[in-house]
Structure 1
């Protein structure tokens, strides 16, 4: 594969390749502004790198993707489209977001975990109307109510998706994790936001005449200014949607995404995964356990994090306890209940 066009190369070492990303296609060009430059707007390192990618990642080159993975990731970067990543648990779907953010120096990964009760607004922002009402009532009891009543911005916090859509020069990385766990409506509710790259905050639109600029809290814990109750991106975020393949998504969502299906990791990838997190010695001592894990994965659903747990714990135990612990920790996930 010709690699000159690759922005994300899967080398694991941070670089400024994102600055070479060409302009977006006209239909994905966004003009939000003014540009936000606060902490977390792109360059702030992610404190979760060691936990997510491994403390020994430099020696292991764990996250060097296969050619088809590189192509899909870079297609999503070039086209400013979300990347829908499907695969069994433990195949490294969520890790891709952290690997891209680390290598391209795009700051902390914004993570939005999805459950059956998740609704779109939770990802965009939260407005604590009850707390505001209480504070207004308290302020109304004072002698100078108009001076002491707090502004509406104190009660609004942007969610991960809302923060990702702030106008920044470099894209943020957003992980929407396990979308297939969502209510049936959420994938459709996402369509307009993903297509338009913007959203409104009705609570701020209603006061825009008197308060055109409102300071609100972001998912990063920093303050930004929202103007006229609307947020529109400049650099469309790099969004990874993960799915364990437990349901089908509507065609309208699929056509807006670049799709990537991750296969179960092979022996080499499992060994480098162990090496990245636990070091060279653990990878050598766990070689037999890796082979046993691969054999079981042919007929059972097992996850790579179970293997990591087993190798870590059995490092401290002696036979036959070691084998018993491995059996305890690596249990099939598709066992009938």
Structure 2
């Protein structure tokens, strides 16, 4: 995919993302368009549950591209992010060579076992090597160690990877790269410099109501308004985990399943487990909102 093949304009991004179920605001649509047009990685930062990961998925759906995902976590290393050698298979090849009495030198054996046949590709290398349209999602990059950011620099700068035994592998077709961060730690300036930046926050009431209604069209408009208003009140509390947009949608589907036509205090208290996943959050909500069961 060339730069122009992702989105032809911000309006095109808005329309095509909406067709996949992702309602993008103007800033999101514009930044998504620019990420494709400029062929630059997109760093999306914001609290958990505001649609950062879903944006990458929506871009893949809208463009018909394959999604390759690197889920980041503490302790992630090069072998899990980039590539590693299939040591067991290499050992078997060495043993087989010795068993047949082959007089191959170590240099010959070395050249034989460090080939494509023994290479295990991980998400970063997979995305670099793909000739088909690809969206590379580097999810929750702030959860990795600082050292891993150094690994990303070569990929984000030149879209290439150096494998000492094989040489440099350069991208034939640049992937659309989305990095997400919950801002649990500050990313390095070197990584930020290579990316476009988008901050996503919880949507306002009108936008969230649009999202909920698009995902759960059978929900009564009045109940949708009650739901969005209650979600907003919950997010104002000091909770361990504020309700995400996905949990708003789950709550709407719950109300449909239970045939609840009025989100009164009892209905809220009975279904809080759909949106609040910590006992302390549940207790605080009941207390602060003065819910009656």
After TM superposition, the score normalised by the length of structure 1 is 0.66
From 25, 38, 46, give the equivalent of 1:66: 25
- Distance of aligned partners of 1:191 and 1:118 in 2 relative to their CA distance in 1, 3 Å threshold: same
Distance in 2 separating the partners of 1:81 and 1:4: 16
From 66, 85, 89, give the equivalent of 2:44: 85
Indicate the larger mover: 111-120 or 309-318. 309-318
- Distance of aligned partners of 1:331 and 1:187 in 2 relative to their CA distance in 1, 3 Å threshold: same
Distance in 2 separating the partners of 1:12 and 1:267: 23
**1:271 touches 1:283 (CA, 8 Å); kept in 2?**
no
**1:198 touches 1:230 (CA, 8 Å); kept in 2?**
yes
Distance in 2 separating the partners of 1:263 and 1:253: 21
Which SS does the other structure have where 1:118 is aligned? Answer: coil
- Distance of aligned partners of 1:133 and 1:90 in 2 relative to their CA distance in 1, 3 Å threshold: same
Deviation at 1:243, TM superposition (A): 0.4
Distance in 2 separating the partners of 1:195 and 1:94: 22
Does 2:127 match 1:164? yes
Does 2:68 match 1:113? no
Does 2:189 match 1:289? no
Which SS does the other structure have where 1:193 is aligned? Answer: helix
Does 2:193 match 1:250? no
Does 2:14 match 1:10? yes
Distance in 1 separating the partners of 2:245 and 2:103: 58
**1:12 touches 1:64 (CA, 8 Å); kept in 2?**
no
Of structures 1 and 2, the one scoring higher in RCO (CA 8 A, sep 6+) is 1
Which SS does the other structure have where 1:165 is aligned? Answer: helix
Distance in 1 separating the partners of 2:150 and 2:9: 33
Task: Provide Cα deviations, 1:229-283, integer angstroms capped at 9, x if missing partner.
Answer: 4310133221110001111111111111101001212233333433444x31136
**2:11 touches 2:29 (CA, 8 Å); kept in 1?**
no
Deviation at 1:325, TM superposition (A): 3.8
Aligned partner of 2:246 in structure 1 is 305
Return 5+ residue gaps in structure 1 as ranges.
14-56, 206-228
Does 2:266 match 1:328? no
After TM superposition, the score normalised by the length of structure 2 is 0.75
Q: What do you get for the CA RMSD once the two structures are aligned?
A: 3.3
Aligned partner of 2:95 in structure 1 is 137
Which SS does the other structure have where 2:250 is aligned? Answer: helix
The structure carrying a bigger helix percent of its residues is 2
Aligned partner of 2:149 in structure 1 is 187
Does 2:41 match 1:100? no
**2:13 touches 2:30 (CA, 8 Å); kept in 1?**
no
Distance in 1 separating the partners of 2:231 and 2:255: 14
Aligned partner of 2:284 in structure 1 is none
Aligned residues: 260
Deviation at 1:96, TM superposition (A): 0.9
